[in-house]
Amino acid sequence: MASSEPRRLSLEIARFPLKTPFVIARGAKTEAVTLVATITQGEATGRGECTPYARYGESVDSVVAAIESIRGAVEAGADRAALQRLLPAGAARNALDCALWDLDAKISGVPAFQLAGLHAIAPCVTAFTLSVGTPDEMAQAAKAAAGRPVLKVKLAGAGDAERLAAVRAAAPDSELIVDANEAWRPENLDQNFAACAAAGVVLVEQPLPADQDSALALKKWPVAVCADESVHDRKGLAALRDRYDLVNIKLDKTGGLTEALALAAEAEKLGFGLFVGCMVASSLAMSPALLLAARARFVDLDGPLLLARDRPHGLRYDGSILFPPEPALWG
């Protein structure tokens, strides 16, 4: 939205301790470290939160440097369209893009969901994530979360069949989706998919490393397969049609809500189902992704549920039901 008033950009590192360690196939962490971009114009302020991710070659310092490299353009009034040309997809662009959506909503007085062409944002059901552990540890975690309708089970390769059986026994009524985080290999696909089918799993997310996922095209698997690390934005999406049934859209991968909306539209056009995911971060990072939730078969926006504390005006969760953000938070 046009405004003649000057802009000011500020950056802040935010740290959120986790309730328990978050463990996936490639490591563990005890806190979420995010970067918040705040753009102020007159009386209006927009914020966006990103999570730098080492898997994609990012660090807090590298993301700060990327944002600082275009500070002049942002403060001179670069809009969301210009931002897509100024930075590549990734965490840095995500923070700025979401801050600009929020700023435009605040300046115009029109909610971000309406700016995106939506009539409303409805509450949705989010998956709840279980970290990798021993079968006994995961069974205990699953038992504690057994009342939740959808559980996302992190896997790690060796021992996954035992983990799945333990989780299923502890949470017999929950819909299970699993995330291997690239830990499987082509030679064990058959046995791992068989274990998923036996446990009643409905979705397998990123079973193979992104550079080895061509093996997924060899046959039709008994459980739907979703791309995560293999897809960031629209580039290369068409080449994945013979490998995946769904794509996981994360704003830190797409570089913000602008590309996420475009990716969703292109994915739907190509016949993919949609999965909306997140990094472990605060409610500020989840809020823009909620604009995609109504289109998704699965929503995994449970980041704040894993934190020991969220930021002020955080999203409201009633069990696994996630409600839209208040304007004081975002949008």
Q: Looking at the chain, which residues constitute the CATH 3.30.390.10 domain(s)?
A: 7-110
Per-residue pLDDT at 76: 97
Reference 28, options 56, 62, 54; nearest CA is 54
Q: Report the mean per-residue pLDDT for the chain.
A: 96
Query: Is 250 among the residues known to form the active site?
Result: yes
Per-residue pLDDT at 3: 55
Q: How confident is the model at residue 5 (pLDDT cuts 50, 70, 90)?
A: confident
| Sign of the C-alpha dihedral computed for residues 127, 321, 264 and 314 taken in this order | negative
Angle between helices 135-144 and 160-170 (to 10 degrees): 30
Distance CA 265, CA 186 (A): 31
pLDDT tens-digit series, residues 56-88: 999 999 999 999 999 999 999 999 999 999 999
Q: Which residues, other chains included, contact 137 with Cβ-Cβ below 8 Å and sequence gap of 6+?
A: none
> Which CATH number does the domain 7-110 belong to among 3.30.70.260, 3.40.190.10, 3.30.390.10, 2.60.40.60?
3.30.390.10
Distance CA 100, CA 111 (A): 13
* DSSP H helices in the chain: 60-68, 71-75, 80-86, 91-108, 112-115, 135-144, 160-170, 189-198, 251-254, 257-269, 283-289
Point out the catalytic residue in the list 19, 250, 253, 269: 250
Per-residue pLDDT at 208: 97
Q: What is the pTM of this model?
A: 0.95
Six token digits for residue 127: 């998956």
Question: Which numeric CATH code is attached to 124-322?
Answer: 3.20.20.120
Per-residue pLDDT at 25: 82
Mean pLDDT computed over 272-288: 98
Q: Looking at the chain, which residues constitute the CATH 3.20.20.120 domain(s)?
A: 124-322
Distance CA 227, CA 203 (A): 11
Point out the catalytic residue in the list 106, 154, 219, 235: 154
Distance CA 101, CA 103 (A): 5
Q: 1 versus 98: which is more confidently predicted?
A: 98
> Are the beta carbons of 284 and 47 closer than 8 angstroms?
yes
Distance CA 271, CA 326 (A): 33
Q: 325 versus 26: which is more confidently predicted?
A: 325
Q: What percent of the chain has pLDDT over 90?
A: 96
pLDDT tens-digit series, residues 201-235: 999 999 999 999 999 998 999 999 999 999 999 99
